Structure 1
Amino acid sequence: MSLAGLGWALGARLVAPLLALHVRRRVRIGKEIAGRIGERQGGGAARPPGRLFWLHAASVGETISALPVLEAMAARDAGLRFLVTTGTVTGAEMLGRRLAPGLAARVDHRFMPLDVPGWVARFLAGWRPDAAAFVESELWPNLLAAARGRGLPMALVNGRMSSRSFARWRRAPALAGEALGSFRLVLARSEGDRRRLATLGAAGALCWGDLKAAAPPLPVDAAALARLRAAVGGRPVFLAASTHPGEEALAVAAHRALVPRFPDLLTVLVPRHPERGEGVAAEAEAVLPGAVARRTAGGAPGPGVSVYVADTLGELGLFYRVAQVALIGGSLVPHGGQNPLEAARLGCPILLGPHTGNFEEAVDRLLAAGGALRVPLGTPPGGALADAVAGVLSDEARAQALTKAASGIADAHAGLPGRVAEALLDLLPPGQGSGSGVLVGTGPGGRDAPQGPIA
């Protein structure tokens, strides 16, 4: 182990008491489940008999992109069991909603242990996975070191390494090389990610495509969709999907600018983090008094409601199906953008702000094919967004051309989950192993940027 690795391990041991307190604080704000905080220290193992594959998906986006792979693996190996870990409560909730009943019986969920040597050792010893894969961008040095010690075959799937994370990892080249060199298989989501991962130590990294480009259409509850369509009626609907702080205000400003031309316009705000719903609604109410309703408060987008705050989890497919145009959140502010292909699969015309680095290749393909429109930042606030929305709402032929072009891009990687599933199944040892393995991921501290001791 490198000196950097030893330093990380020592630092984690020293801060472990503070991490335990941090987890308890997160319980109070709804980001942890009180009865399951022991899982953050590696507890709660209940290993089933037979072969066990461990899949880690940090949060909601990773969970959604991994589900088709999980389903394909289960279909190909009827006796395989799965341990799925997430780093967030919302990721766990999404998993519970999306798993088909037959597959759910073969899946155990736990929260990922924090990266303290004793905690990850307890987790690995309790579960003894036979092979493992991380989705996207988690690199936990202590977990990876423990995994290497157990010899667990593992893969990094849909590997993501942003330019910012790349610059941070380059400050700790030995640590990066140890982590990425532990993988038997590294599948990057894009050529840019593959090059950065290879430079840091994943010499054999491959790029087969982005799993988020291969996900099925977002699901919908048929009864909820019928109710929503009845409430909306024939009104034009502008959707601001998966928004981040600052974007809701721009969407509301755009709404005000659009009302003279579209007097019955309904603007739907879906915050990326539903817990922000109350604040988002209050912000909109200050601009449009008496014209705002919030879904979790029982509101509906009926007559008199101009802005509807849809602050629920897992219902974005519902709103894409009723909208005539959608802004993809995270792109008007420097976040990097959310997944535009979710809208493409549901035939909703796509608007993008200037910040789309999280889905750079998908966005480039959409723009080149005429499947999305770029919205520049400008003055007055929301003015350029209002112009783009009006351009789509007032021109049905243009809207249809956008959706047709976007659909072709969204369908390009339909066979990718099956191909990835085959590669992951190849990691498993033959026969009915009792579990001896290890695991790995891509980005110290989670998501995509180093956290904790490496800042």
Structure 2
Amino acid sequence: MAERRPIALTLYRALGRALTPLLHLLFRRRAANGKEIEGRKGERFGVPGVPRPKGSLVWIHAASVGETMSVLPLIEQLARDGHSVLLTSVTVTAAELAEKRLPENCIHQFTPYDTPDCVSSFLDHWRPDLAMVVESEIWPCMFDEVHQRGVPFALLNGRMSESSSRNWMKAPKTSGYIFKCLDLVLAQSDADKQRFLKLGCRHVEMPGNLKFDAAEPAAEEDDRRQLADQIGDRPVWMAALTHPGEDEIALKAHARLLEEYPGLLLLLVPRHPARADDVAALVRESGHALARRSCGDPVVAETGVYLGDTLGEMGLFYRLAPVTFLGGSFNDAGGHNPVEAVLLGSALVTGPRVANARAVYKDLWEQGAALKVAEPPELASEIARLMDHPDSRKEQVDRAMNLVIMGRGALTRTADFLRPMLAGASQADMMERGDGQGA
């Protein structure tokens, strides 16, 4: 007899159905702010944008750019092995990244809203042979519907903070039901593994963090050379992947640093290029001469801030910045993946709020492989310390690189753990096509 849904989950599902009309208003508002694509509205309500490909289909859900980047190597490997892959995400920036980076036999769709009707419509069309979610994407309706259909279900690169674990434990019947929907959890760290086990997950392994296996981000050499020639011998630092409030912090730090380093150039790269006009206005209000990447503006002698308001060019910017403040660490964004900066030799400074990659940052801070700034006013002095001591800066970068190298291998181990589930998906596909052997 199938396990009955907990009352809380039943109420959640009913609430989702009741509030579905409001989701149309929410979508319209988000689209007006550049956070949704009007022409792809149907996808958010489970209406497919393209046909399902023939054969086995692996569905991977990743919320945003960071999660998408972490699973791209796995998607590429699945594609090489002959699997069609459906990648879903929530954010527009992740969709734009997918358009550029997904292999040919892979599809991107926006994630349906977590209501019974939206998720059911999505699953009815796509019929995945294997479903996987990335990191901490735990959606009750999604988990329930996938489980009810008997689709093999895994959590990749799973992370669970202590506070989130405590919150789930407050509703043990609901959390027990939801987490038992997962057939396999692949955790980032042993601490994450233990939390998932306490929450009732049936099979938990710890292959490591996929983010350590990230490839060195690419850059067009002609673009790098052109910008490097324009910058010349000017000192440079970068504020990367910033969020609202952090642009102001970076600009204040830059003003202080200019007192000590005349001619200093700030590369300011917001996390979401859609905010570029607002960030540009802040730069002008601060009195700095601005050049914008999206407009093709060159860096000239008077340029104080170069705004990197394009997508997919972090490899270019990291190559130009010997020192980087990595954003998302002074607000509630939870920090961003530091591995790309490390791979390209940029010394890192961060704020303290990095819950999304806490284990990685803990190692970086403890090993002297990155600097943690407790409060925004301290940022300028830490940037200056790295600029003033190139030998110490190189030692920090080398320690960070060693940590990344030691952490690699999660991709291979993850693929090994997934192999039985993938074999099952391929077998199901053969049976559907009539290739299996009858009894």
TM-score, scaled relative to structure 1: 0.88
Following the alignment from structure 2 to structure 1, what is the Cα–Cα distance between the partners of residues 107 and 329?
35
- Cα distance in 1 for residues equivalent to 2:302 and 2:348: 27
1:317 Cα deviation (Å)? 1.5
Is the aligned partner of 1:394 residue 2:397? no
Q: Where in structure 2 are there 5+ consecutive unaligned residues? A: 433-439
- Residues 402 and 134 of structure 1, relative CA distance in 2, 3 Å threshold: same
RCO higher in structure (CA 8 A, sep ≥6): 1
Partner residue in 1 for 2:99: 96
Q: 1:248 to 1:25 in 2, by over 3 A?
A: closer
Matches within 5 A, 1:135-146: 135-146=134-145
Q: CA deviation at 1:110?
A: 1.2
Instruction: Please tell me the residue identity of whatever aligns with 2:293.
Output: R
**Percent identical across equivalent pairs?**
40
Q: Which residue of 1 aligns with 2:405?
A: 411
2:113 maps to what in 1?
A: 114
1:127 CA drift (Å): 1.0
Matched, 1:182 2:181: yes
* 1:119 CA displacement: 1.8
Cα shift at 1:370: 2.2
Q: Which is richer in helix?
A: 2
**Superposition deviation, residue 3 in structure 1:** 0.6
Distance of 1:296 and 1:275 partners within structure 2: 11
| 1:120-139 aligned within 5 A | 120-139=119-138
Q: Measure the CA separation in 1 of the matches of 2:92 and 2:110.
A: 8
8 Å CA contact 2:78–2:85 kept in 1: the answer is: no
Shift of 1:336: 2.8
Q: Which amino acid aligns with 1:63?
A: T
Query: Which aligned pairs between 1:436-447 and structure 2 lie closer than 5 A?
Result: none
Name the counterpart of 2:251. Answer: 252
Secondary structure at the counterpart of residue 85 of structure 1: strand
> Which has the higher mean CA deviation after the structures are superposed, 62-71 or 228-237?
228-237
Partner of 2:310: 312
Q: Tell me how far 1:329 sits from its aligned partner.
A: 0.8
Aligned to 1:427: 421
State the Cα distance separating 1:64 from its structure 2 match: 0.3
Alignment partner, residue 288 of structure 1: 287
Write the distance in 2 (CA, Å) between the matches of 1:189 and 1:70: 18
Q: Which amino acid aligns with 1:204?
A: H
Opposite residue 83 of structure 2, the aligned amino acid is L
Aligned residue for 1:283, secondary structure, equals: helix
CA contact (8 A) 1:47 1:126 kept: yes
Q: State whether structure 2 residue 353 is matched by structure 1 residue 355.
A: yes
Structure 1 residues 435 and 268: CA distance shift in structure 2, 3 A: farther
Task: Quickly say closer, same or farther: Cα 1:247–1:416, change in 2 above 3 A.
Answer: same
The question of whether the paired residues in 2 share the 8 Å contact of 1:84 and 1:108 is answered with yes
1:6 paired residue among 2, 5, 10 = 10
Q: Where in structure 2 are the equivalents of 1:237-386 lying within 5 Å?
A: 237-289=236-288, 291-377=289-375, 382=377, 384-386=378-380
| CA deviation after TM superposition for structure 1 residue 403, in Å | 1.0
Of 67, 84, 95, which aligns to 1:62?
A: 67
Q: 1:20 aligns with which of 10, 24, 29?
A: 24
Shift of the 25–247 alpha-carbon distance from structure 1 to 2, 3 Å rule, reads closer
Contact 2:79 2:106 in 1 (8 A): no
Contact 1:57–1:84, Cα closer than 8 Å, also in 2:
yes
Q: Contact 2:213–2:409 at 8 Å: present in 1 too?
A: yes
Distance 1:335 1:227, change over 3 A: same
Q: Helix, strand or coil for the counterpart of 1:13?
A: helix
Give the alignment's TM-score, normalised by structure 2.
0.92
Shift of 1:249: 1.7
Distance 2:108 2:354 in 1: 32
Q: Distance in 1 between matches of 2:220 and 2:428?
A: 39
Shift of 1:431: 2.8
**1:328, 1:352 within 8 Å by CA — same for their partners in 2?**
yes
Alpha-carbon RMSD across the aligned residues, in angstroms, is 1.9
Number of residue pairs aligned between Structure 1 and Structure 2: 425
Distance in 2 between residues matched to 1:185 and 1:279, nearest whole Å: 43
- 418-427 or 236-245: bigger deviation: 418-427
Partners of 2:34 and 2:274 within 8 A in 1: no
Instruction: State whether residues 350 and 372 of structure 1, in contact with CA within 8 Å, keep that contact through their aligned partners in structure 2.
Output: yes
In 1, the alpha carbon distance for the partners of 2:174 and 2:236 equals 49
2:85 to 82, 87, 90: 82
TM-aligned CA deviation for residue 203 of structure 1: 4.5
Secondary structure of 2:421's counterpart equals coil
Pick which of 400-409 and 166-175 moved more: 166-175
Query: Deviations 1:253-292 (Å, cap 9, x if unpaired)?
Result: 2212222321111011111122222222222222225x12
Change in 2 beyond 3 A, CA 1:126/1:435:
farther
Conserved 8 A contact 2:348-2:370: yes
Q: What CA distance in whole angstroms lies between the structure 1 residues aligned with 2:41 and 2:52?
A: 19
Query: Contact conserved, 2:168 with 2:199, CA < 8 A, in 1?
Result: yes
Change (3 A) 1:350 1:156: same
CA distance in 1: counterparts of 2:262 and 2:431, whole angstroms: 63
* Partners of 1:348 and 1:96 in 2: CA distance: 28
Question: Following the alignment from structure 2 to structure 1, what is the Cα–Cα distance between the partners of residues 412 and 77?
Answer: 6
CA pair 140-98 structure 1, distance change in 2 beyond 3 A: same
Work out whether residues 128 and 435 of structure 1, in 8 Å CA contact, stay in contact via their aligned partners in 2: no
CA deviation profile, 1:347-391 (whole Å, cap 9, x unmatched) = 1111122223322221222223321122232xxx63x22211111
* CA positional deviation for 1:5: 1.2
- Deviation (angstroms), 1:435: 9.2
